[in-house]
Structure 1
Amino acid sequence: MSPTLQRIGYVTLGLGAIATLALVAGFLIFAESIARDERTLDGRADGIVVLTGGAQRIGDAIDLLAGGYGRRLLITGVNERTSRDEIARLNPTQRHWIECCVDLDYRARNTIGNAIETRRWMRQHRFNTVAVVTSNYHMPRTLVELDHALMGKDRVLPHPVIAEGFDADRWWRHPGTARLIGSEYLKFLVSWLRTRFESDPEQSRAAIMMGRGKPIKLVSESIMRAQY
Protein backbone atom coordinates (compact mmCIF):
# COMPACT_ATOMS: atom_id res chain seq x y z
CA MET A 1 0.00 0.00 0.00
CA SER A 2 1.32 3.42 -0.93
CA PRO A 3 2.10 6.02 1.77
CA THR A 4 -0.72 8.22 0.42
CA LEU A 5 -3.30 5.48 0.80
CA GLN A 6 -2.01 4.72 4.28
CA ARG A 7 -2.38 8.36 5.30
CA ILE A 8 -5.91 8.45 3.91
CA GLY A 9 -6.72 5.30 5.86
CA TYR A 10 -5.32 6.74 9.10
CA VAL A 11 -7.25 10.00 8.59
CA THR A 12 -10.46 8.06 7.90
CA LEU A 13 -9.99 5.96 11.02
CA GLY A 14 -9.22 9.05 13.06
CA LEU A 15 -12.31 10.88 11.84
CA GLY A 16 -14.43 7.79 12.49
CA ALA A 17 -13.09 7.54 16.04
CA ILE A 18 -13.77 11.24 16.67
CA ALA A 19 -17.32 10.92 15.29
CA THR A 20 -17.95 7.85 17.47
CA LEU A 21 -16.69 9.61 20.58
CA ALA A 22 -18.82 12.66 19.80
CA LEU A 23 -21.88 10.45 19.33
CA VAL A 24 -21.27 8.63 22.61
CA ALA A 25 -20.60 11.89 24.47
CA GLY A 26 -23.79 13.39 23.03
CA PHE A 27 -25.76 10.35 24.15
CA LEU A 28 -24.44 10.63 27.71
CA ILE A 29 -25.31 14.33 27.81
CA PHE A 30 -28.78 13.55 26.43
CA ALA A 31 -29.35 10.81 29.02
CA GLU A 32 -28.23 13.14 31.81
CA SER A 33 -30.55 15.93 30.60
CA ILE A 34 -33.71 13.79 30.92
CA ALA A 35 -35.91 15.01 33.76
CA ARG A 36 -35.80 12.84 36.88
CA ASP A 37 -38.74 14.29 38.78
CA GLU A 38 -42.11 15.78 37.94
CA ARG A 39 -42.23 19.42 38.95
CA THR A 40 -44.93 22.04 39.18
CA LEU A 41 -45.03 24.27 36.14
CA ASP A 42 -42.96 27.41 36.41
CA GLY A 43 -45.79 29.83 35.79
CA ARG A 44 -49.08 29.64 33.93
CA ALA A 45 -49.70 29.41 30.20
CA ASP A 46 -52.49 30.42 27.85
CA GLY A 47 -53.01 26.81 26.78
CA ILE A 48 -51.90 23.26 27.51
CA VAL A 49 -51.07 20.58 24.96
CA VAL A 50 -50.55 16.89 25.68
CA LEU A 51 -49.09 14.37 23.25
CA THR A 52 -50.75 10.97 23.37
CA GLY A 53 -48.71 7.82 23.84
CA GLY A 54 -47.87 7.62 27.55
CA ALA A 55 -49.99 6.14 30.30
CA GLN A 56 -49.87 9.16 32.62
CA ARG A 57 -49.85 12.05 30.18
CA ILE A 58 -53.58 12.63 29.74
CA GLY A 59 -54.40 12.57 33.45
CA ASP A 60 -51.56 14.95 34.28
CA ALA A 61 -52.65 17.37 31.55
CA ILE A 62 -56.26 17.45 32.76
CA ASP A 63 -55.02 18.05 36.31
CA LEU A 64 -53.03 21.05 35.06
CA LEU A 65 -56.12 22.39 33.32
CA ALA A 66 -58.20 21.95 36.49
CA GLY A 67 -55.43 23.64 38.47
CA GLY A 68 -55.67 26.78 36.37
CA TYR A 69 -52.35 26.40 34.56
CA GLY A 70 -54.03 27.00 31.20
CA ARG A 71 -57.37 28.10 29.75
CA ARG A 72 -57.79 25.24 27.28
CA LEU A 73 -56.24 21.83 26.67
CA LEU A 74 -55.37 20.24 23.33
CA ILE A 75 -54.97 16.46 23.19
CA THR A 76 -53.01 15.89 19.98
CA GLY A 77 -52.66 12.56 18.17
CA VAL A 78 -56.03 11.12 19.22
CA ASN A 79 -57.23 7.89 17.66
CA GLU A 80 -60.09 8.55 15.25
CA ARG A 81 -62.31 6.08 17.12
CA THR A 82 -61.91 7.88 20.45
CA SER A 83 -64.67 10.36 21.29
CA ARG A 84 -64.93 13.10 23.89
CA ASP A 85 -67.61 11.06 25.68
CA GLU A 86 -65.24 8.10 25.99
CA ILE A 87 -62.53 10.28 27.50
CA ALA A 88 -65.06 11.77 29.93
CA ARG A 89 -66.31 8.30 30.85
CA LEU A 90 -62.79 7.20 31.69
CA ASN A 91 -62.22 10.37 33.74
CA PRO A 92 -65.60 10.96 35.45
CA THR A 93 -64.27 13.39 38.04
CA GLN A 94 -62.92 15.64 35.27
CA ARG A 95 -66.01 15.55 33.04
CA HIS A 96 -66.68 19.28 33.46
CA TRP A 97 -63.23 20.23 32.19
CA ILE A 98 -63.34 17.74 29.32
CA GLU A 99 -66.70 19.04 28.11
CA CYS A 100 -65.90 22.74 28.38
CA CYS A 101 -62.22 23.20 27.73
CA VAL A 102 -60.66 20.22 25.91
CA ASP A 103 -60.00 20.06 22.16
CA LEU A 104 -59.15 16.83 20.33
CA ASP A 105 -56.75 16.61 17.40
CA TYR A 106 -57.20 13.56 15.18
CA ARG A 107 -54.74 14.52 12.45
CA ALA A 108 -51.28 14.31 14.02
CA ARG A 109 -49.54 10.96 13.52
CA ASN A 110 -46.06 11.79 14.82
CA THR A 111 -44.16 14.44 16.76
CA ILE A 112 -43.85 16.71 13.71
CA GLY A 113 -47.62 16.55 13.28
CA ASN A 114 -48.12 17.26 16.99
CA ALA A 115 -46.08 20.45 16.63
CA ILE A 116 -47.97 21.53 13.52
CA GLU A 117 -51.37 20.98 15.13
CA THR A 118 -50.22 22.80 18.27
CA ARG A 119 -49.26 25.81 16.17
CA ARG A 120 -52.62 25.83 14.37
CA TRP A 121 -54.48 25.51 17.68
CA MET A 122 -52.50 28.33 19.30
CA ARG A 123 -53.14 30.62 16.35
CA GLN A 124 -56.85 29.77 16.40
CA HIS A 125 -57.14 30.78 20.06
CA ARG A 126 -54.51 33.54 19.86
CA PHE A 127 -52.36 31.91 22.52
CA ASN A 128 -48.78 33.09 23.06
CA THR A 129 -47.74 30.59 25.72
CA VAL A 130 -48.30 26.85 25.97
CA ALA A 131 -47.49 24.17 28.53
CA VAL A 132 -46.50 20.91 26.86
CA VAL A 133 -47.04 17.54 28.54
CA THR A 134 -45.22 14.44 27.34
CA SER A 135 -42.89 11.75 28.70
CA ASN A 136 -39.55 12.92 30.08
CA TYR A 137 -37.49 11.02 27.50
CA HIS A 138 -39.66 12.40 24.67
CA MET A 139 -39.54 16.02 25.86
CA PRO A 140 -36.22 17.09 24.21
CA ARG A 141 -37.40 16.09 20.73
CA THR A 142 -40.84 17.61 21.35
CA LEU A 143 -39.26 20.94 22.30
CA VAL A 144 -37.13 20.92 19.15
CA GLU A 145 -40.20 20.35 16.97
CA LEU A 146 -42.29 22.94 18.82
CA ASP A 147 -39.55 25.55 18.72
CA HIS A 148 -39.26 24.97 14.96
CA ALA A 149 -43.03 25.10 14.36
CA LEU A 150 -43.54 28.17 16.55
CA MET A 151 -40.38 29.81 15.16
CA GLY A 152 -39.21 30.62 18.66
CA LYS A 153 -41.82 33.35 18.99
CA ASP A 154 -43.99 31.70 21.62
CA ARG A 155 -43.13 30.60 25.13
CA VAL A 156 -43.20 26.86 25.81
CA LEU A 157 -43.36 25.53 29.37
CA PRO A 158 -42.30 21.86 29.57
CA HIS A 159 -44.08 19.49 31.95
CA PRO A 160 -42.29 16.13 31.64
CA VAL A 161 -44.14 13.05 32.88
CA ILE A 162 -42.08 10.33 34.56
CA ALA A 163 -43.28 6.94 33.36
CA GLU A 164 -43.68 4.27 36.03
CA GLY A 165 -40.63 1.99 36.07
CA PHE A 166 -38.48 4.41 34.06
CA ASP A 167 -35.21 4.87 35.97
CA ALA A 168 -33.27 7.67 34.33
CA ASP A 169 -30.60 7.62 37.06
CA ARG A 170 -29.64 3.97 36.46
CA TRP A 171 -30.67 3.50 32.83
CA TRP A 172 -27.59 1.36 32.11
CA ARG A 173 -28.90 -1.33 34.47
CA HIS A 174 -32.11 -1.74 32.48
CA PRO A 175 -31.67 -2.84 28.84
CA GLY A 176 -35.19 -1.75 27.92
CA THR A 177 -34.65 1.76 29.31
CA ALA A 178 -31.23 2.01 27.66
CA ARG A 179 -32.70 1.04 24.28
CA LEU A 180 -35.53 3.55 24.70
CA ILE A 181 -33.14 6.39 25.52
CA GLY A 182 -30.81 5.37 22.69
CA SER A 183 -33.67 5.30 20.19
CA GLU A 184 -34.99 8.65 21.38
CA TYR A 185 -31.49 10.16 21.19
CA LEU A 186 -31.13 9.15 17.54
CA LYS A 187 -34.59 10.54 16.74
CA PHE A 188 -33.65 13.74 18.55
CA LEU A 189 -30.53 14.10 16.40
CA VAL A 190 -32.53 13.55 13.22
CA SER A 191 -35.11 16.13 14.31
CA TRP A 192 -32.44 18.66 15.24
CA LEU A 193 -30.63 18.23 11.93
CA ARG A 194 -33.85 18.31 9.89
CA THR A 195 -35.05 21.52 11.52
CA ARG A 196 -31.76 23.22 10.60
CA PHE A 197 -32.66 22.88 6.91
CA GLU A 198 -36.46 23.06 6.81
CA SER A 199 -38.14 26.43 7.03
CA ASP A 200 -41.67 25.20 7.71
CA PRO A 201 -42.73 21.81 9.16
CA GLU A 202 -45.97 21.90 7.18
CA GLN A 203 -43.87 21.55 4.03
CA SER A 204 -41.75 18.78 5.54
CA ARG A 205 -41.21 15.83 3.24
CA ALA A 206 -40.03 13.87 6.28
CA ALA A 207 -43.38 14.43 8.00
CA ILE A 208 -45.25 13.18 4.94
CA MET A 209 -43.07 10.09 4.59
CA MET A 210 -43.23 9.29 8.31
CA GLY A 211 -47.00 9.73 8.44
CA ARG A 212 -47.90 7.42 5.57
CA GLY A 213 -49.75 4.39 6.81
CA LYS A 214 -48.86 5.07 10.43
CA PRO A 215 -51.75 4.54 12.86
CA ILE A 216 -52.76 7.34 15.20
CA LYS A 217 -51.91 6.70 18.85
CA LEU A 218 -54.69 5.40 21.05
CA VAL A 219 -55.71 7.94 23.65
CA SER A 220 -58.22 5.61 25.27
CA GLU A 221 -55.59 2.94 25.97
CA SER A 222 -53.29 5.50 27.59
CA ILE A 223 -56.04 6.79 29.85
CA MET A 224 -57.16 3.32 30.86
CA ARG A 225 -53.60 2.33 31.82
CA ALA A 226 -53.36 5.49 33.91
CA GLN A 227 -56.48 4.50 35.86
CA TYR A 228 -54.98 1.30 37.29
Structure 2
Amino acid sequence: MAAGGTRGQRTGWRLLRVAVGLAALIAAAYVGGFFLFTAELDRTPPTDMQAADGIVALTGGPDRITAAYRLLEEGKGARLLITGVHPDVDARSLKGIVPGEASKFDCCVDVGHRAENTIGNADEAAEWVRQRDYRSIILVTSTYHLPRATLELGRAMPDVEIRPYPVFQDTLHLDGWWAYPGTTRLLISEYTKYLLTLSFGGQSSMSS
Protein backbone atom coordinates (compact mmCIF):
# COMPACT_ATOMS: atom_id res chain seq x y z
CA MET A 1 0.00 0.00 0.00
CA ALA A 2 2.82 2.37 0.87
CA ALA A 3 4.60 1.74 -2.45
CA GLY A 4 1.38 2.23 -4.37
CA GLY A 5 0.71 5.42 -2.46
CA THR A 6 4.20 6.71 -3.24
CA ARG A 7 3.79 5.98 -6.95
CA GLY A 8 0.42 7.75 -6.92
CA GLN A 9 1.95 10.80 -5.26
CA ARG A 10 4.76 10.91 -7.82
CA THR A 11 2.25 10.71 -10.66
CA GLY A 12 0.23 13.47 -9.06
CA TRP A 13 3.28 15.70 -8.74
CA ARG A 14 4.26 15.07 -12.37
CA LEU A 15 0.78 15.98 -13.54
CA LEU A 16 0.86 19.10 -11.41
CA ARG A 17 4.21 20.14 -12.85
CA VAL A 18 2.90 19.58 -16.39
CA ALA A 19 -0.20 21.64 -15.62
CA VAL A 20 1.85 24.46 -14.11
CA GLY A 21 4.21 24.39 -17.10
CA LEU A 22 1.32 24.59 -19.55
CA ALA A 23 -0.26 27.44 -17.61
CA ALA A 24 3.06 29.30 -17.67
CA LEU A 25 3.38 28.81 -21.42
CA ILE A 26 -0.17 30.03 -22.01
CA ALA A 27 0.43 33.06 -19.79
CA ALA A 28 3.68 33.87 -21.59
CA ALA A 29 1.97 33.55 -24.98
CA TYR A 30 -0.88 35.79 -23.83
CA VAL A 31 1.47 38.48 -22.51
CA GLY A 32 3.72 38.32 -25.56
CA GLY A 33 0.73 38.52 -27.89
CA PHE A 34 -0.65 41.46 -25.94
CA PHE A 35 2.56 43.46 -26.31
CA LEU A 36 2.58 42.68 -30.04
CA PHE A 37 -1.09 43.69 -30.30
CA THR A 38 -0.46 47.08 -28.68
CA ALA A 39 2.71 47.69 -30.69
CA GLU A 40 0.92 47.14 -34.02
CA LEU A 41 -1.99 49.51 -33.33
CA ASP A 42 -1.98 52.55 -35.60
CA ARG A 43 -0.72 55.73 -33.95
CA THR A 44 -1.58 58.14 -36.78
CA PRO A 45 -4.37 58.34 -39.37
CA PRO A 46 -3.61 57.54 -43.02
CA THR A 47 -2.27 60.55 -44.89
CA ASP A 48 -3.78 59.54 -48.24
CA MET A 49 -6.86 57.37 -47.84
CA GLN A 50 -7.85 55.56 -51.03
CA ALA A 51 -11.49 56.03 -51.97
CA ALA A 52 -13.94 53.14 -51.63
CA ASP A 53 -17.54 52.49 -52.67
CA GLY A 54 -18.88 53.22 -49.20
CA ILE A 55 -17.91 54.21 -45.66
CA VAL A 56 -18.96 52.41 -42.47
CA ALA A 57 -18.61 54.02 -39.05
CA LEU A 58 -19.08 51.99 -35.86
CA THR A 59 -20.59 53.97 -33.01
CA GLY A 60 -18.71 54.33 -29.76
CA GLY A 61 -17.85 58.01 -29.69
CA PRO A 62 -18.49 61.24 -31.62
CA ASP A 63 -14.93 61.24 -33.00
CA ARG A 64 -15.75 58.18 -35.12
CA ILE A 65 -18.78 59.85 -36.68
CA THR A 66 -16.91 63.09 -37.30
CA ALA A 67 -14.00 61.29 -38.96
CA ALA A 68 -16.30 59.19 -41.13
CA TYR A 69 -18.33 62.18 -42.24
CA ARG A 70 -15.15 64.07 -43.11
CA LEU A 71 -14.19 61.18 -45.40
CA LEU A 72 -17.64 61.38 -47.00
CA GLU A 73 -17.20 65.10 -47.65
CA GLU A 74 -13.80 64.41 -49.19
CA GLY A 75 -15.40 62.04 -51.68
CA LYS A 76 -13.82 58.90 -50.23
CA GLY A 77 -17.13 57.04 -50.51
CA ALA A 78 -20.55 57.49 -52.09
CA ARG A 79 -22.51 56.88 -48.89
CA LEU A 80 -21.89 56.55 -45.15
CA LEU A 81 -23.48 54.01 -42.82
CA ILE A 82 -23.40 54.77 -39.09
CA THR A 83 -24.12 51.41 -37.50
CA GLY A 84 -25.02 50.56 -33.93
CA VAL A 85 -26.89 53.78 -33.16
CA HIS A 86 -29.04 53.66 -30.02
CA PRO A 87 -32.76 53.45 -30.86
CA ASP A 88 -33.42 56.70 -29.00
CA VAL A 89 -30.91 58.63 -31.12
CA ASP A 90 -32.25 59.88 -34.45
CA ALA A 91 -30.48 61.16 -37.54
CA ARG A 92 -31.06 64.78 -36.55
CA SER A 93 -29.13 64.25 -33.31
CA LEU A 94 -26.25 62.68 -35.21
CA LYS A 95 -26.25 65.52 -37.71
CA GLY A 96 -25.66 67.90 -34.81
CA ILE A 97 -22.39 66.12 -34.02
CA VAL A 98 -20.95 66.82 -37.45
CA PRO A 99 -19.20 70.21 -37.77
CA GLY A 100 -20.30 72.73 -40.35
CA GLU A 101 -23.50 72.71 -42.35
CA ALA A 102 -23.38 68.94 -42.96
CA SER A 103 -24.73 69.38 -46.47
CA LYS A 104 -24.21 65.71 -47.37
CA PHE A 105 -25.86 64.29 -44.27
CA ASP A 106 -29.46 64.20 -45.47
CA CYS A 107 -28.69 62.76 -48.88
CA CYS A 108 -25.83 60.38 -48.22
CA VAL A 109 -25.89 59.11 -44.62
CA ASP A 110 -27.74 56.00 -43.46
CA VAL A 111 -28.33 55.27 -39.78
CA GLY A 112 -28.52 51.70 -38.47
CA HIS A 113 -30.22 51.00 -35.15
CA ARG A 114 -30.19 47.20 -34.95
CA ALA A 115 -26.61 46.40 -33.97
CA GLU A 116 -25.83 46.05 -30.27
CA ASN A 117 -22.23 44.83 -30.53
CA THR A 118 -19.43 44.34 -33.03
CA ILE A 119 -20.99 41.19 -34.48
CA GLY A 120 -24.22 43.11 -34.98
CA ASN A 121 -22.27 45.93 -36.62
CA ALA A 122 -20.80 43.42 -39.05
CA ASP A 123 -24.20 41.96 -39.93
CA GLU A 124 -25.80 45.37 -40.33
CA ALA A 125 -22.94 46.64 -42.50
CA ALA A 126 -22.94 43.47 -44.64
CA GLU A 127 -26.63 43.87 -45.41
CA TRP A 128 -26.10 47.55 -46.29
CA VAL A 129 -23.19 46.64 -48.58
CA ARG A 130 -25.16 43.86 -50.33
CA GLN A 131 -28.12 46.14 -50.98
CA ARG A 132 -25.83 48.58 -52.79
CA ASP A 133 -23.60 46.02 -54.45
CA TYR A 134 -20.50 47.65 -53.01
CA ARG A 135 -17.13 45.97 -53.46
CA SER A 136 -15.07 48.07 -51.06
CA ILE A 137 -15.62 50.05 -47.87
CA ILE A 138 -13.65 52.24 -45.50
CA LEU A 139 -14.12 51.03 -41.93
CA VAL A 140 -13.99 53.80 -39.34
CA THR A 141 -13.61 52.99 -35.65
CA SER A 142 -11.17 53.49 -32.77
CA THR A 143 -7.66 52.26 -33.45
CA TYR A 144 -7.78 49.70 -30.62
CA HIS A 145 -11.07 48.33 -32.00
CA LEU A 146 -9.97 48.06 -35.62
CA PRO A 147 -8.34 44.57 -35.47
CA ARG A 148 -11.48 42.90 -34.09
CA ALA A 149 -13.88 45.01 -36.15
CA THR A 150 -11.98 44.28 -39.36
CA LEU A 151 -12.04 40.58 -38.54
CA GLU A 152 -15.79 40.54 -37.85
CA LEU A 153 -16.71 42.58 -40.94
CA GLY A 154 -14.38 40.50 -43.08
CA ARG A 155 -16.19 37.36 -42.02
CA ALA A 156 -19.59 38.91 -42.70
CA MET A 157 -18.61 40.10 -46.19
CA PRO A 158 -15.62 38.04 -47.39
CA ASP A 159 -15.82 39.33 -50.97
CA VAL A 160 -15.61 42.99 -49.96
CA GLU A 161 -12.35 44.89 -49.58
CA ILE A 162 -12.14 46.55 -46.17
CA ARG A 163 -9.85 49.55 -45.71
CA PRO A 164 -9.36 50.37 -42.02
CA TYR A 165 -9.36 53.98 -40.88
CA PRO A 166 -8.27 54.47 -37.25
CA VAL A 167 -9.75 57.10 -34.94
CA PHE A 168 -7.88 58.39 -31.88
CA GLN A 169 -9.21 59.70 -28.58
CA ASP A 170 -7.40 62.14 -26.33
CA THR A 171 -7.97 59.82 -23.37
CA LEU A 172 -6.23 56.89 -25.07
CA HIS A 173 -2.46 56.81 -24.43
CA LEU A 174 -0.98 54.18 -26.72
CA ASP A 175 2.60 55.28 -26.13
CA GLY A 176 3.47 54.44 -22.54
CA TRP A 177 0.07 52.81 -22.01
CA TRP A 178 1.39 50.94 -18.94
CA ALA A 179 1.50 54.25 -17.06
CA TYR A 180 -2.23 54.84 -17.62
CA PRO A 181 -4.50 52.34 -15.80
CA GLY A 182 -7.57 53.26 -17.85
CA THR A 183 -5.80 52.69 -21.16
CA THR A 184 -4.23 49.49 -19.88
CA ARG A 185 -7.59 48.04 -18.83
CA LEU A 186 -9.15 49.01 -22.16
CA LEU A 187 -6.35 47.43 -24.19
CA ILE A 188 -6.36 44.21 -22.16
CA SER A 189 -10.13 43.94 -22.53
CA GLU A 190 -9.99 44.54 -26.29
CA TYR A 191 -7.09 42.13 -26.78
CA THR A 192 -8.97 39.41 -24.90
CA LYS A 193 -12.07 39.98 -27.03
CA TYR A 194 -9.92 39.84 -30.15
CA LEU A 195 -8.47 36.49 -29.09
CA LEU A 196 -11.95 35.13 -28.38
CA THR A 197 -13.09 36.30 -31.79
CA LEU A 198 -10.17 34.51 -33.41
CA SER A 199 -10.91 31.35 -31.42
CA PHE A 200 -14.68 31.17 -31.70
CA GLY A 201 -15.27 32.69 -35.12
CA GLY A 202 -17.32 35.66 -33.96
CA GLN A 203 -19.96 33.57 -32.19
CA SER A 204 -19.46 35.29 -28.85
CA SER A 205 -21.94 37.99 -27.83
CA MET A 206 -19.18 40.38 -26.77
CA SER A 207 -20.09 44.05 -26.63
CA SER A 208 -18.38 46.71 -28.72
Q: State the TM-score, normalizing by the size of structure 1.
A: 0.83
Q: Which residue of structure 2 lines up, in the alignment, with residue 163 of structure 1?
A: 169
Q: Equivalent of 2:136, from 124, 129, 133?
A: 129
Q: Which residue of structure 1 lines up, in the alignment, with residue 191 of structure 2?
A: 185
CA contact (8 A) 1:47 1:71 kept: yes
**Pairing 1:116–2:159 present:** no
The one-character-per-residue Cα deviations of 1:6-27 (angstroms, maximum 9, x if unpaired) are 2111111111111110111111
CA contact (8 A) 2:136 2:160 kept: yes
Measure the CA separation in 1 of the matches of 2:94 and 2:17: 60
What 5-or-longer segments of structure 1 have no aligned partner? 196-200, 212-216, 218-228
1:37 alignment partner AA = T
What 5-or-longer segments of structure 2 have no aligned partner? 1-5
Mapping of residues 1-228 of structure 1, within 5 Å? 2-91=9-98, 93-151=100-158, 153-195=159-201, 204=203, 206-207=204-205
CA contact (8 A) 2:69 2:98 kept: no
Q: 3-state DSSP class of the match of 1:95?
A: coil
Q: 3-state DSSP class of the match of 2:11?
A: helix
The one-character-per-residue Cα deviations of 1:40-85 (angstroms, maximum 9, x if unpaired) are 3541100000001123111110000000100000000111122222
Aligned length: 201
CA contact (8 A) 1:55 1:163 kept: no
Higher relative contact order (CA 8 A, sep 6+): 1
CA contact (8 A) 2:49 2:76 kept: no
Percent of counterpart pairs with the same letter?
A: 40
Measure the CA separation in 2 of the matches of 1:85 and 1:42: 28
Measure the CA separation in 2 of the matches of 1:94 and 1:113: 30
Higher Rg of the two aligned structures: 2
